[in-house]
């Protein structure tokens, strides 16, 4: 969001999961690349390494969670972080 805007963070709980969603008012994500954003070394940025979202996804998997991404209907992107509330021993 180069020109400013709002970031909304929402925390919710349902179906044994805690959901943290982050919404922004930026340009959104290219729908042709949605299935690649979490691949290691894949980037759409000129100076990106392609490691940030791949690493975040791996951390979430290690925590028995997951990340999902989508575009907002009014513009911008949404990232969802799901954490299980179950305790594994």
Whole-number Å distance between alpha carbons of 85 and 89: 13
Give me the residue label for tokens 């000129």: 46
Tens digit of pLDDT for each residue in 30-70? 788 777 777 888 777 788 877 788 889 899 899 889 999 98
Task: Please give the share of the chain, as a percent, with pLDDT higher than 70.
Answer: 94
Domains identified in the chain and CATH numbers: 27-83 (3.30.565.10)
Q: Please tell me the pTM assigned to this model.
A: 0.78
């Amino acid at each position: 969001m180069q020109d400013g805007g709002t970031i909304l963070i929402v925390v919710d709980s349902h179906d044994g999961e805690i959901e943290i969603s982050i919404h922004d008012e930026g340009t959104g994500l290219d729908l042709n690349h949605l299935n690649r954003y979490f691949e290691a070394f894949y980037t759409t940025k000129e100076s990106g390494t392609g490691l940030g979202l791949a690493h975040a996804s791996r951390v979430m998997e290690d925590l028995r969670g997951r990340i999902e991404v989508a575009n907002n209907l009014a513009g911008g992107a949404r990232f969802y972080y799901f954490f299980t509330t179950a305790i594994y021993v």
